[in-house]
Amino acid sequence: LFVLFFVFFLMIRRPPRSTLFPYTTLFRSDISVGEIINKIDNGEEVKLLSYDINNNEVFEDICEQYVDMGENDVYELKFDDGSVLKCALAHKLLCDGGEYHTVKYIVDNDLSIKKIKGFIMKIKSMNKLGRERTYNLSMRSDFHNYLMTNDIVSKNCMAHSISYAMFSAWQLFLKAHYF
């Protein structure tokens, strides 16, 4: 029973691959993924800037956890406004229509990316940098997003939804077999 509980716990803490950042990626809060990881590992609270997409307001949010997603292909995206972002193809960005899509989907469908305050930009070029260790971050607020250095809104995974679903399934299993 303990082993089942431990496996369940690990599954909750391991969100799906959606926002994969290399260790050196910078956020608008002037902190890198590496610094975030070190602070969380040391028990420090990490605040990042997040974006209320309904009211177009920037606010501070808490980064609750990170997950090491292993090595992934990392790309450097250059935008038509001159800004640059390093991320994996599975990384989700806020698009012009108000929906989040992966970088791969954005490139394949030539979508525009929405920055805070409604500014729109396009990916001008994409260069593969190689394989790097990437990380997924989970935020506390209901918006589950954060701002990158170039005011791009990036979405973190749906770890909370998956956690609740997994927890419910676990409760049903326990009720069916032990109560």
- Residue 128 buriedness (CB in 10 A; 0-12 / 13-18 / 19+): exposed
Range 123-134 average pLDDT: 92
Could you report the per-residue pLDDT of 65-99, keeping only the tens digit for each?
A: 888 888 889 999 999 988 888 888 888 899 988 89
Residues 6+ apart with CB under 8 A from 84: 76, 77, 78, 150
pLDDT confidence of residue 123: 93
Between residues 151 and 104, which one has the greater pLDDT? 104
Residues 6+ apart with CB under 8 A from 75: 86, 87, 88, 89, 103, 126, 127, 128, 129
Mean predicted lDDT score pLDDT of the chain: 77
Could you report the per-residue pLDDT of 8-57, keeping only the tens digit for each?
A: 444 444 333 334 455 445 555 678 888 888 999 999 999 988 888 888 88
* Residues 171, 41: Cα–Cα separation, whole Å: 30
* Residues 76, 22: Cα–Cα separation, whole Å: 11
Tokens found for residue 179: 């109560």
Could you report the per-residue pLDDT of 143-166, keeping only the tens digit for each?
A: 888 888 778 888 875 444 444 444
Provide, rounded to the nearest whole percent, the portion of the chain with pLDDT above 70: 72
Range 109-124 average pLDDT: 88
| pTM (2 d.p.) | 0.71
